[in-house]
Structure 1
Amino acid sequence: MLQLCCLVLAGLLRASAGAIPSNAGLKPRPWESVDGGAWGYFQLAPRKPKGTVLLIHGCGPGARAFFPNDPVHCPDCQGLPEYLSQTKQSLAQGYSVLVLQSADEGSGCLSSSTRDGRLDDRPRIIASVARFRREHRLTKLPLYVQGYSSGGTMLLKLPSYLQDQGSALRIDGIVSVDAAPRGGFNAEGKDGKIKRGLAYPPTLFVTMRLGGSYERAPAQIDFLRKNGVPADIIVSYPRKVGPTYFSDRIPGVTRDQSVQLVTALRALGGLAPDGSVVGWVLDAAAEQAPWVREPSLWPAVWNQLSLAMGNHENMGEFTAASLAWLERRGKANVKSLLRRLVPARPADVTINGRMGGAAAAAWLHACTPRLRPGAARLVAALPVLALCGAAPLPFRRVPSPGSAQDNDQHPPEIVTIVLVEFAFTWLCAFKVLAWACGRGPLAQRACAPLPFAAVMLAPITPSAEGSSPAGSGRRNGRQGEHAGGAATLAAAFGAKVLLVLAGLAALQLDPPLLAKEFLYTLGLYAVLSFVMDGPAALISALIGVRVAPHFDAPWRATSLAEFWSKRWDLAASNALRCVVYEPLLEGRLVCDTSSQQGFVTRARVETAAAHRQAATERRRRWRMLASAACFLVSGCMHEVQFLYMTGRTSGGLMLAFFTAQVSLIAFETVIAAWLRHKGWRVPAALRTAATLAVLLLVAHVTFWRACHRWGITQSSLESVAGGVAAAGHVLGMNA
């Protein structure tokens, strides 16, 4: 587990090199040309696949346009926005994606014949698609194809070709992007009807308002409909270029960059007052907006400006709506699907849908002054809680039946699942639940949207007002202390990196199992602290929010109670305190401070005093029960985490580890009281050794046993190997 930090470090290094959040999870694998097939790239669905989507390019940009440039997974890819959008929306809808390259790599055009010495791409495409579906157990699931320009023309002619060749491959739906070939698509028989025996699939035309495809498509749609084939059209009109046009559509382009470019285009006469493109002045505008000249951005900007002009261009924003139409066998209302499924900001689309973290935080921040704690806030929080629960799913690839070999070669991203589940499914979700109940940092702070979002989304806990430095002995779950400024947190971050490297070296010595498990535990501490210290340093430096300690030298704990309440994973402890511990002690779930505002009366004073007295009595009776409930919830959350990682629970071993702490702490309390009664004073070093020994032995038969049994440890080590390679590659690239 210690070695997991390498992958986290690699991710941070890649982020510093310019990784784009909305492209997260895009990890194409090369598709080799075998037995005359076409080469390209593919990515399997992030969850149980619904089918296969074949994406075919047009003349010009090839298969490399469908995935972003990535020094590890696809150093040759260029990731044009509309092509990227097709890939991400297909994956987000639950489909495995295959993109294939034309035989003529010079022009990039697809061909449906051998005239004039051209290479017919159809046999190569058929061979590759059939092999891909067979190898990944997708033959019984739908096959949808989408092609642009010459690629769309080739796909429209493919069903007839399949029939002529006697191929068993069946296409379940076609999306033709700005392609409606002259003379039709070889589906018409001699009697003017569709060829006998040809089961032509539902077909959707996506065309520009300007151009020949828009003019020819209606007649072809009419022909298909008369022959009982569902067919429809989506028309794209010229776009208006507003100040944020480029940042809304190109991943990685900032709002300021977009405004700068649009201002230059307008000043040079390339844009009309209403935003219409009236001239091509991009080269001149690049002198005023030099960021456009970056190799990774120039073709993307060119692509989007061409799209705005309404020229012949690929379009990706309609992909989700197109797939939904095909899933319904062409019987759905296209306009209704467009209203629901076309993204407002295509740049924010991810393989799990649209980016929701910032929007979720903005939603809760807007609801705070409008909704009182209780049922109303809980209802408002439900979509956010669903988003938190779904956050790890893009990284949990469930293999198709019988594809165990593929899963062995490409295991689930254990490290990412652990960190995302901890940050969102646990910490963020608990903060949101506490907010709904009028508790926790989100409910107690009247702050601007940015600090609110930072506290909600980052794996941190802000310290209480008037907090003192860590180690001062304040109560309230260490929230009365702060972990220091940005420099202190950055130093702690660096220390965890050194700890990771030291642990890696120690594991190379192949120590005994118990020693390895001690290193794994130390590594778990390093991973979690590593991930929390980095964001905490940034938030402290940029926003000025003071952060409560995350860990406090857990190896120095002199008792189990001290270990869990004051030293280990204090962010999780604070979350449990707000949602479980305090409500049980107070005997109420909702803490609505708004009802206490107004004039102070004698009745209110007496009521408040009575409530405090009742709470004090309840605290004495319920403290152990509340602590037990916290351990129970923690055990359940670890079972959930195990489910995300492996697709199964640990068989109760994770739950057993945490619930066992209740009995151990109770026994420890009795022993400590007996020793005090006898007047015996046990040295701190001996108490620390006993505490750590008990924890490690219990973890050995429960926590780590589950990890070993279900392959978590081995998968983690394999993930680390990939992380080390990625980090080394990025460091070499940056050097």
Structure 2
Amino acid sequence: MEGEINNFMMVCLSVFTSLCYCYGIGKIVSKGTLRLLTIVPVVCLFLALPLNLHSMHLVGISSFFIAWLANFKLLLFAFGKGPLSDPSISLPQFVAIASLPIKIIQNPPPKTSKKGHKSLWNYATKFLLLVLCVRVYDYSEYIHPKVILLLYCLHIYFALEIMFAMFAALARTLLKSELEPQFDEPYLSSSLQDFWGRRWNMMVSRILRPTVYEPTLGFSNQLLGRKWAPLPAIFSTFMVSALMHELVFYYLGRMRPTWYISWFFLLHGLCLMVEIAVKKVVTDSYRLPPIISGSLTLTFVMSTGFWLFLPELIRFNAFAKTLDEYAAVGAFVKDACGIRV
């Protein structure tokens, strides 16, 4: 445990030093190819850093925050785009925005919309539900396997939202800035478009939009016209998301990919294309009521997750390792505090 914490501290130091270097590069090197060349070594380093860790939680954090989000933000920064290219940004803001799954609301109005922002009671309830899921695993031999898979889905959702909220709270306190929300109750989604674009892990959609969706949309406009151009742009975005998720899963399991994760995202990309195409030709009066479309959306997301997504986590014992880490952290805290049971 102590060795892994030391490794994580070294990773954090490497990230901080590298981002300070990138911040300085932004002041002296003009945007474009030359800035990109000076940043490429940092991108390569960020791709390698998760390999220095072994804990499921720390590998997950470093691979998603650094190897994916930070690298995409730096690539945008190389060409003068994205959240890091604001000329008024300070070094602490640069480091926080690059390394954490946050986005500062620029010039928020006096009454900022609370959409996606939740109360402490909301997070407390989800934390208790997460604890309950973990405790229920002790009785898994008495529970139907499909129910266990449902618990895994809830475990992933609660853990991700709580973890992101903790980092957002830290960033909000340090930066004194209003941040955009990261999740917005995805179980209330009324369609796949609503789920992926507005409710589930909105940091991913925010970083993929300027890096993949918008460039592909501009190219598609010339070939297909404005009406149908979003379709290939959506599929391209899901392709990139699939590849990045495969990379994250490799970091987590260190096993040869089976490409089930890619099929999961490609399937959802195809289905979202169909959904949007249907919306373009069908009037509102012929569309399903939200309660029905929402039920179908959640059923589709969970069934495809059971089929293609969760088996990859189960393949390298992700949930068992996670529970072991919870126990290890508890034992470490007890030992550090001198608690004897």
Q: Is the 8 A contact 1:421 1:641 kept in 2?
A: yes
Q: Give the distance between the partners of 2:293 and 2:122, measured in 1 at CA.
A: 27
Partner of 1:158: none
Within a 5 Å distance, the mapping from 1:325-344 to structure 2 comes to: none
**Deviations along 1:513-548, whole A, 9 cap, x unmatched?**
232222222222222222221121122123212211
Specify the alignment match of 1:512 in structure 2. Answer: 144
* Structure with bigger RCO (C-alpha 8 Å, 6+ apart): 2
Structure number with higher strand proportion: 1
Superposition pairs for residues 184-333 of structure 1, below 5 Å?
none
CA positional deviation for 1:709: 3.0
- Is the 8 Å Cα contact of residues 586 and 618 (structure 1) preserved in structure 2? no
Which residue of the partner structure matches residue 559 of structure 1?
Answer: 191
* Counterpart position of 2:166: 534
CA distance in 1, matches of 2:230, 2:167: 33
Q: Which runs of 5+ in 2 are unaligned?
A: none
Per-residue deviation, residues 86-133 of structure 1 (Å, max 9, x unmatched)? xx9xxxxxxxxxxxxxxxxxxxxxxxxxxxxxxxxxxxxxxxxxxxxx
SS at match of 2:182: coil
Residue aligned with 2:190, SS: coil
Q: How does 1:18-417 map to 2 (within 5 A)?
A: 25=4, 350=10, 355-396=13-54, 413-417=55-59
Residue 656 of structure 1 corresponds to 263
Q: Give the structure 2 partner of residue 572 of structure 1.
A: 204
Say if 1:439 and 1:537 are closer, same or farther in 2 by CA, change over 3 A: same
Q: Does the 8 A contact of 1:489 with 1:534 survive in 2?
A: no
Partner-residue secondary structure (3-state), 1:549: coil
Query: Which whole-Å deviations, capped at 9, do the CAs of 1:306-365 have from their partners, x for residues lacking one?
Result: xxxxxxxxxxxxxxxxxxxxxxxxxxxxxxxxxxxxxxxxxx8x4x6x922222222222
**Bigger shift: 617-626 or 561-570?**
617-626
Structure 2 distance, partners of 1:725, 1:586, is 54
**Which AA in structure 2 matches 1:390?**
A
Secondary structure (helix, strand or coil) at the match of 1:547 reads: coil
Q: What residue in structure 2 maps to residue 4 of structure 1?
A: none
Q: Does the C-alpha gap of structure 1 residues 454 and 618 become closer, same or farther in structure 2, counting only changes over 3 Å?
A: farther
Letter in 1 for 2:193: A
Corresponding residue number in structure 1 for 2:273: 666
1:500 equivalent in alignment to 2:107: no
- Asked if residue 637 in structure 1 is aligned to residue 252 in structure 2, the reply is no
The alpha-carbon deviation at position 699 of structure 1 amounts to 1.3
Relative to structure 1, the CA distance from residue 382 to residue 416 in structure 2 (aligned partners, 3 Å threshold; closer, same or farther) is: same
Query: How many angstroms apart in 1 are the aligned matches of 2:25 and 2:152?
Result: 42
Displacement, 1:458?
1.8
Alpha carbons 1:490, 1:533 under 8 Å: kept: no
The structural deviation recorded for 1:721 is 3.6
Residue aligned with 1:649, SS: coil
Structure 1 residue 580 displacement after superposition: 1.0
How many pairs are equivalent?
A: 337
Contact kept? 2:334, 2:340, Cα under 8 Å: no
The answer to whether the Cα contact below 8 Å between 2:70 and 2:98 also exists between their aligned partners in 1 is: yes
Indicate which of 108, 121, 144 corresponds to 1:466.
Answer: 108
Closer/same/farther in 2, CA of residues 357 and 449 from structure 1, 3 Å limit? same
Corresponding residue for 1:698? 304
Q: CA deviation at 1:723?
A: 3.6
Partner Cα distance (1:537, 1:583) in 2: 32
- The residue matched to 1:697 in structure 2 has which SS? helix
Report Cα offsets for 1:120-173 as digits up to 9, x if no partner. Answer: xxxxxxxxxxxxxxxxxxxxxxxxxxxxxxxxxxxxxxxxxxxxxxxxxxxxxx
Q: How far apart in 1 are the matches of 2:171 and 2:123?
A: 13
SS in structure 2 opposite 1:469?
A: coil
Per-residue deviation, 1:504: 2.2
Contact 1:642 1:649 in 2 (8 A): no
Distance 1:620 1:371 in 2: 39
Does the CA contact (< 8 Å) of 1:492 and 1:533 recur in 2? no
- Which of 656, 661, 684 does residue 290 from structure 2 map onto? 684
SS of structure 1 residue aligned to 2:27: coil
- Which digits, 9 at most, give the CA deviation of each residue in 1:387-425, with x for residues without a partner? 3112211213xxxxxxxxxxxxxxxx2222112211111
Per the alignment, do residues 367 and 437 of structure 1 end up closer, same or farther by CA in structure 2, a change over 3 Å counting?
A: same
Q: Identify if the C-alpha distance between structure 1 residues 367 and 521 changes in structure 2 by more than 3 Å, giving closer, same or farther.
A: same
* TM-aligned CA distance change 1:731 to 1:551, over 3 Å: farther
Query: Please, which runs of 5 or more residues in structure 1 have no aligned partner?
Result: 1-10, 12-22, 28-45, 47-87, 89-347, 397-412, 472-482, 589-613
TM-score normalized by structure 1?
0.42
> Highest CA radius of gyration, 1 or 2?
1
**Contact 2:36/2:75 (8 A) holds in 1:** yes
Distance apart, 1:508 and its partner CA: 4.0
Question: How far is the alpha carbon of 1:370 from its aligned partner?
Answer: 2.5
The yes-or-no answer on 1:546 pairing with 2:178 is yes
Distance 1:661 1:447, change over 3 A: same
Q: What is the percentage of aligned positions where both structures have the same residue?
A: 23
Deviation at 1:719, TM superposition (A): 3.2
Is the contact between residue 191 and residue 297 of structure 2 (CA under 8 Å) also seen in structure 1? yes
